[in-house]
Amino acid sequence: MRLLFVTQSGVVRTHAVDASKVESAVADGVMLSQLVQTYNALGIRDKSGRFDAAGEVRLCPDPDTFREVPYAERAGAMLCDIETVDGEPWAVDPRSSLRSFVDEMRDAGFAPEVAFESEFHLFERDADGSVRRVDERGAYVTESTRETHEVILAMTDALKAQEVPVEKYYPEYAAGKHEIVTGHAPGVRSADEHVLFRETVESVAHEHGYEATFLPKPFDHSTNGCHIHLSLWDDDNRFHDAEGDRLSRTARQFVAGVLDHADALVALTAPTANSYTRLRPQLGATAFRCWGHGNREALVRVPAVGQSDPATATRVEFRAADCTANPYIALLGLLAAGYDGIERALDPPKPVSVDPGTLSETECEARDVERLPRTLGAALDALADNSVMREAMGSTLFETYLDVKRSHWAQFTDSAVSWERERLRSVY
């Protein structure tokens, strides 16, 4: 039984126990070093962080998340919370922190329904180590669909076998880029299913002789995103307005909150140095703090919906996220930002109906359109100053996350300095 959890780095990690030990694992947990939460995306421990070699917590599998894993022989998986040795929720655990915030929103009549829409690339390595992307055509071309039919079919079958609903598939814009769209789910379950999705795509790709990557900028002229679709519900969809222009005042307040906290929020949803090579103008991602109906270059997009059931389908899409994010933390931050907009009754600026990358500086200023942070370092600075994110995450999780991500940013900038020195030595 694989006990899955996600650390601050966004990496999915596991302990595995024999089937005979599952019952005791559920009852008592599995001991885990606190240090695991301090490793950054490069697998290097932040030695100046708040945890050292002394200190353990309990990895507690959630039986409701049990799945038989169809891509691995005689294996199952469960998602886990992390508790203290005394059985209390650990303040650094992203999953239980998200659950607590979702419960608060649900009690107030705002239950989130969420779908993570993930993109990935398939590629092969030749004997000399060179990389060839599977299907060089991309951009919705039917040849790409035919070339990758078997592996994509295996992925969708494996997802369905784990009760992860699959809605559609298409080859994306770049060569080797693909997108499998899964259905929405309530709060924490949506993040759980995203973890299962990532595990499934990478495992099935390997079974078929391929490698898969979710990296935001894996190749030149290629990107991978993770668009988060979200609506809030009581008995009905609170984002839908049958009398107005379809988007309710609650939805507009939520959007306003997201825009207000955007600079800090991207530190949670686009949390690696590589993420900011994707968040650039006119790359089909987003680079600007704005919103719009059907606008794929805006931070928040309101998708068009079919005529048969607009009350159910009305939602917003947050586009500045990628799969290097811890989905529990990313969703927690997004909900906290939007909920703050509702509580403060904020009004968003007017929606932007053009590509914001085509607007002049004067036009951007008039429309309240601003550039998102250009680097992880700038986003982390904005996060550090954001009291709403700190309160939603709790100070311990908030500070631990900042420590890990600043470690990641420091290693990136150190390597860049080394690269510049070597490169300039060869030039001059």
Assigned domain for 70 exists: yes
Residue 225 lies in a domain: yes
How far is the C-alpha of 51 from the C-alpha of 11, rounded, in Å? Answer: 18
DSSP letter for each residue of 354-372: S-GGGS-HHHHHHTT-EEP
Q: Are residues 352 and 384 in the same domain?
A: yes
Residues 21-72 pLDDT 10s: 999 999 999 999 888 888 888 777 767 767 777 789 999 999 999 999 999 9
CATH code of 62's domain: 3.10.20.70
By C-alpha distance, which of 318, 356, 350 is closest to 337? 318
167 and 108 in a common domain? yes
Domain stop point among 90, 112, 131: 90
Check whether residue 178 and residue 258 sit in a common domain: yes
Q: Is residue 426 part of a domain?
A: no
Residue 36, in any domain of the structure = yes
Mark whether 382 and 282 lie in a shared domain: yes
Beta strands in 28-106 (DSSP E): 30-33, 56-61, 67-68, 76-83
The CATH number that applies at residue 367 is 3.30.590.10
- Asked if residue 339 is part of any domain, the answer here is yes
**Structural domain ending residue among the three candidates 58, 90, 122:** 90
If asked whether residues 235 and 374 sit together in one domain, one would say yes
Per-residue confidence (pLDDT) for residue 244, from 0 to 100: 64
* pLDDT for res 306: 77
264 in a structural domain? yes
Closest CA to 197 of 169, 231, 222: 169
Separation of alpha carbons 46 and 38, rounded Å: 6
pTM: 0.94
* Backbone conformation region of residue 335, classed left if phi is above 0, alpha if psi is from -120 to 50, else beta: alpha
What is the spatial distance between Cα 250 and Cα 379, in angstroms, rounded to a whole number? Answer: 27
Residues 106 and 203 in one domain: yes
C-alpha distances (whole Å) from 213 to each of 101, 205, 208, 323 are 31, 10, 14, 9
Q: Per the domain annotation, does 404 fall within a domain?
A: no
Q: What's the number of domains the chain is made of?
A: 2
Residues 107 and 84 grouped into a single domain: no
Same domain, 208 and 300: yes
Residue that terminates a domain, selected from 90, 111, 128: 90
74 and 131 part of one domain: no
Domain interval for residue 325: 100-394
Claim to verify: residue 259 and residue 127 sit in the same structural domain: yes
Which segments in the chain show pLDDT lower than 50?
A: none
Instruction: Let me know if residue 382 belongs to a domain.
Output: yes
Same-domain check for residues 36 and 141: no
Same domain, 214 and 267: yes
* 2 three-class SS: strand
